[in-house]
Amino acid sequence: MNELLMEFKELKEMKENIRRSVNALELCWGCERICECKQQTVDDAAPVWLCISCRNKFSDYQPMAEDLFRTAVSKF
């Protein structure tokens, strides 16, 4: 009975992990591909979703981007 309960718990955790990964998938506004994106705010404009490679492009352009990401990520 306990083993069954453990398996059920593991399955529940697995499901939760998948759900979290899927939620991180967004359409990148830079390259227009579905990938793991983070919300990015550039200047005072509305927030956009960008993947890692597009974000790197932006951080060259704007050194403050990394701090903005950390703030955005901590809200999740």
- Binding site residues, Zn ion, CB under 5 A: 28, 30-31, 51, 54
In Å, what is the CA distance from 56 to each residue of 18, 26, 37, 53, 62? 26, 17, 12, 5, 10
Minimum Å distance from CB 51 to Zn ion? Answer: 4
> Quick one: 3 or 32, whose CB is closer to Zn ion?
32
Is 59 within 8 Å of 41 (Cβ atoms)? no
> Quick one: 11 or 52, whose CB is closer to Zn ion?
52
Minimum Å distance from CB 55 to Zn ion? Answer: 8
